[in-house]
Amino acid sequence: MQEKQLFEYAVIRVLPKVEREEFVNVGIILFSKRAKYIRMLYKLDEKRLNTFSTELDMDLLQETLLSFEKICNGDKEAGVIAQFDIPERFRWLTAVRSSCIQTSRPHPGYTKNMDMEVEKLFKELVL
């Protein structure tokens, strides 16, 4: 029987107007040091984001989230940060930012299946 393993996750948020501190959850990053696992899921809901602000540059948001995903996956095209080990990449991705894309503080949990857990959290917190 597979034992439960510790993981951490953070919610990826878009703040259409940073100064108003309102946000829309758009993704999840889940990480486990012991399992050597990191995965990111995201979805930009343009209609939902436009209810907060019609001035958002959706192409730029998509491009930025794609760069987050490349870093998460260790894609060499993403530069030096993508070459860090998995825990360092997670810490960099979840570092405090003042930009329009931010993450929540990391939250811990235990699971037997990382893929199922990230998909469950994505459905619960984003969709």
Residue 70's contacts (CB-CB under 8 Å, 6 or more residues apart) are 77, 78, 82
Taking residues 24-35, what's their average pLDDT? 97
Name the residue with higher pLDDT: 22 or 110: 110
Reported confidence tier of residue 98, pLDDT bands at 50, 70, 90: confident
Residue 1 has pLDDT above 60, yes or no: no
Reported confidence tier of residue 65, pLDDT bands at 50, 70, 90: very high
- 87: buried, middle or exposed (CB in 10 Å: 19+, 13-18, 0-12)? middle
pTM, two decimals, is: 0.93
Q: Please give the Cα distance from 90 to 96 (Å, whole number).
A: 12
Output the pLDDT for position 123: 98
Alpha helical stretches, state H, 1-74: 46-50, 58-73
Q: For the chain, what is the domain count?
A: 1
Output the pLDDT for position 21: 85
> CA dihedral in degrees (112, 41, 29, 36; nearest 10)?
50
Taking residues 51-56, what's their average pLDDT? 89
| Residue 15 lies in domain | 5-125
